[in-house]
């Protein structure tokens, strides 16, 4: 058995290298031999996990569901062991222009709704499921226009959401879907000019990324990893820049009820069927 704990992560941005190299050094100073493997997309990362290429995955919410379902079909168990404070209780919003005639969800009938990348939980799958639960079927009751930026990275790259927001302001779509945090960013940067848009609806709260392990992961190394994660302090000048880059102030215990909406969306839209079929071969 190796004494090195290997992590799998997706390189959705150059800062990912800086983050994990920094964590690698921080862990080493505290007695944990830690290394990482970077993937270009989450599907390859999930496949790598089941091939035994690493011990713990830093998963998007969709990759968590992929891992959980593949584990089940292979007689294994996947566990979410930790997540960021900023991964919990998030919402997606559907935004319209302030001066438009759309006042209710039913007013979206016959309209065009801009979404992010096709595999984005927060800008596509969850908000479209929200609309479906309200009786509006995508591409039946309204047209869906995807902005497929970096498919495979599960919406970690916010370019698709920003493109949808720009299309809204250009009048190319009637509404745009995005996570609430990006809605704030787009408002601050001027992509959505002040006073020119309004939120039509928002989803129920949901959770986002998590560290995932399978039941054959090296328990002692995983326990040490989690203990060190939970001991990271935002007040520590050594680790604070890394936490800021990763977008959190505190690590929290992993939990899975917050993935219910995304699970429902995957079932409703049969989104994972082909991936699960490939992983069953």
More confident residue, 252 or 13: 252
Task: Tell me the pLDDT tens digit for each residue of 29-79.
Answer: 999 999 999 999 999 999 999 999 999 999 999 999 999 999 999 999 999
Pair 31, 54 in one domain: yes
- pLDDT, average across residues 246-268: 97
DSSP state of 90: B
What's the average model confidence in pLDDT over 153-178?
91
- The string of DSSP letters for 241-266 reads HHHHHHT-S-EEE--SGGGHHHHHHH
Cα separation, 154 vs 156, whole angstroms: 6
Count of domains observed in the chain: 2
Burial 24-33 (b: 16+ CB within 10 A, else e): eebbeeeebe
Residues 128 and 188 in one domain: yes
Q: Give residue 224's domain range.
A: 5-87+207-279
- pLDDT, position 158: 80
> What is the CATH number for 239?
3.40.190.10
Answer with the residue of higher pLDDT: 136 or 1. 136
Q: Residue 2, class by beta-carbon neighbours within 10 Å (0-12 exposed, 13-18 middle, 19+ buried)?
A: exposed
- Structural contact between residues 4 and 34, judged by C-beta atoms closer than 8 angstroms: yes
Q: Which residues pair with 78 in a beta bridge?
A: 214
Residues 102 and 179 in one domain: yes
Q: Are strands 5-10 and 56-59 parallel, antiparallel or unpaired?
A: parallel
Residues 42 and 102 in one domain: no
pLDDT higher than 80, residue 149 = no
Is residue 246 scored above 80 in pLDDT?
A: yes
- C-alpha 19/C-alpha 232 separation (Å) is 14
Structure token digits, residue 109 = 């009938």
pLDDT confidence bin for 1, thresholds 50/70/90: very low
**Phi and psi for 210 in degrees, rounded to 5?**
-155, 155
**What residues does 261 pair with on adjacent strands?**
none
Mean pLDDT in residue range 195-220: 97
Euclidean distance between CA atoms 281 and 277, whole angstroms: 7
pLDDT band of residue 12 (cuts 50, 70, 90) is confident
- Give the pLDDT confidence score for residue 24 in this predicted structure: 97
Let me know how long the chain is: 281
Same domain, 13 and 31: yes
Grade residue 152 by pLDDT with cuts at 50, 70 and 90: low
Considering only the C-alpha atoms of the chain, give the largest distance between any 2 of them, rounded to a whole number of Å.
Answer: 63
Burial of 152 (0-12, 13-18, 19+ CB in 10 A): middle
Check residue 232 and report its DSSP letter: -
**Residues 216 and 145 reside in one and the same domain:** no
- Kindly state the average pLDDT of the residues 178-198: 94
Is 90 exceeded by the pLDDT of residue 156?
A: no
Of all residues in the chain, what percent carry a pLDDT higher than 90? 93
Same domain for 22 and 159, yes or no, is no
Q: Is the pLDDT of residue 154 over 90?
A: no
List strands edge to edge, sheet with 210-214.
34-39, 5-10, 56-59, 210-214, 78-84, 251-253
The residue out of 202, 220, 241 marking a domain boundary is 202
Indicate the residue among 185, 202, 219 that finishes a domain.
202
Q: Full-prediction pTM beyond 0.85?
A: yes
pLDDT at 13: 86
- Separation CA 75–CA 275 (nearest Å): 17
Between CA 92 and CA 95 the distance in angstroms is 10
Domain boundary among 178, 202, 226: 202
């Amino acid at each position: 058995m190796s004494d090195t704990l290997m992590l799998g992560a997706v390189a959705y941005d150059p800062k990912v290298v800086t983050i994990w190299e920094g964590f690698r050094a921080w862990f080493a100073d505290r007695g944990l031999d830690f290394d990482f493997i970077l993937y270009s997309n989450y599907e390859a990362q999930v496949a790598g996990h089941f091939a035994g290429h690493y011990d713990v995955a830093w998963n998007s919410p969709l990759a968590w569901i992929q891992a959980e379902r593949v584990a089940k079909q292979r007689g294994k168990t996947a566990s979410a062991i930790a997540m960021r404070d900023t991964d919990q209780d998030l919402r997606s919003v559907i935004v319209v222009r302030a001066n438009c005639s759309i006042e209710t969800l039913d007013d979206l009938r016959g309209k065009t709704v801009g979404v992010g990348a096709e595999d984005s939980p927060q800008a596509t799958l969850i908000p479209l499921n929200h609309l479906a639960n309200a009786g509006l079927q995508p591409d039946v009751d309204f047209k869906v226009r995807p902005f497929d930026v970096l498919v495979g990275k599960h919406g970690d790259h916010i370019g698709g959401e920003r493109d949808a927001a720009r299309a809204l302001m250009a009048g190319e779509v009637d509404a745009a879907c995005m996570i609430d945090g990006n809605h704030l960013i787009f408002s601050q940067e001027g992509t959505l000019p002040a006073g020119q848009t309004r939120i039509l609806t928002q989803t129920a709260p949901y959770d986002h990324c998590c560290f995932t392990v399978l039941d054959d992961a090296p328990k002692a190394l995983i326990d040490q990893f989690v203990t060190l994660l939970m001991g990271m302090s935002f007040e520590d000048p050594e680790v604070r820049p890394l936490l800021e880059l990763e977008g959190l102030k505190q690590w929290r215990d992993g939990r899975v009820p917050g993935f219910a909406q995304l699970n429902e969306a995957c079932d409703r839209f049969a989104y994972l069927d082909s991936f699960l079929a490939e992983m069953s071969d």
